[in-house]
Structure 1
Amino acid sequence: MLNIAVTVGTLAATTALGLSAAAAASAAPSGVSAVDQTIGDLRSEGYNVIVSRTGTGSPDQCTVTGVRPGQTYSRTDSGVPGNLLGTPGPNIATTVLNKTAYVTLSC
């Protein structure tokens, strides 16, 4: 029984990581986008944004050249209150604690 719970927990955590990476990739701008808008959109989705840039231009002259997912930290718990063992569905919950996106700028 414990092996099943561990396997389900591992699958849930892996799925959560894959979904969060896809969300960061889908947040990538198509074409030239305002830097502040891109960073603001990612932050509003819960990402910690780390910005790297090339060039010495002022920030208002920068364009986004790439957005990529970073590390996602999650926690998987069993024994979730209100979801008893033996009821349909697993008794496991995965909570995303922190997620990061890297934004590359060209100035």
Structure 2
Amino acid sequence: MRPITVTAGLLAAALLAVPPPQAAADQTALETIGMLEAQGYTVNVDRIGSAPLEQCTVTGIRNPQRVTRWVNVEDDGWGTHGNGDSELVEIVVSQSISVSLDCNR
């Protein structure tokens, strides 16, 4: 087995085993949502109440979903093997997460 295959497999397994992020106690709802978006998540918000987001508190972060696909990566001949082979590598296409807010103020 080529080293790139092992490395790609270990990286994919590590990415899929990452637990969902947790909001810090001192973060506002907007900061938490911004942090998750900065990490590449599409954030789905469900809320109780009608207060503005600035007045909401995060009650839960859950259900991280990751969509991946396999792509064929060609060896350009400059690598260690230099034989023009190709490898299948799993890449993340999209990831989403749900944030629950309490907006009763």
Q: Percent same amino acid at aligned positions?
A: 29
Question: How many Å separate the matches in 2 of 1:73 and 1:16?
Answer: 15
State the SS of the aligned residue for 1:72: strand
Equivalenced residue count is 92
Deviations 1:43-95 (A, max 9, x none): 111110000111232222101111113321111134x21278xx5xx922111
Which stretches in structure 1 are left out of the alignment for 5+ residues? none
Q: Which has the higher strand share?
A: 2
Aligned residues: CA RMSD: 3.1
Q: Which residue of 2 aligns with 1:34?
A: 28
Q: Which residue of 2 aligns with 1:18?
A: 16
Question: How many Å separate the matches in 2 of 1:92 and 1:100?
Answer: 24
Q: Name the TM-score, length of structure 2 as normaliser.
A: 0.68
Q: Name the TM-score, length of structure 1 as normaliser.
A: 0.66
Which stretches in structure 2 are left out of the alignment for 5+ residues? none
Q: Which has the higher helix share?
A: 1
Q: Which residue of 1 aligns with 2:101?
A: 105
Deviations 1:19-66 (A, max 9, x none): 3xx25x1x2113242111111111111110000111232222101111
Q: Deviation above 3 Å: which 4+ runs of structure 1? A: none
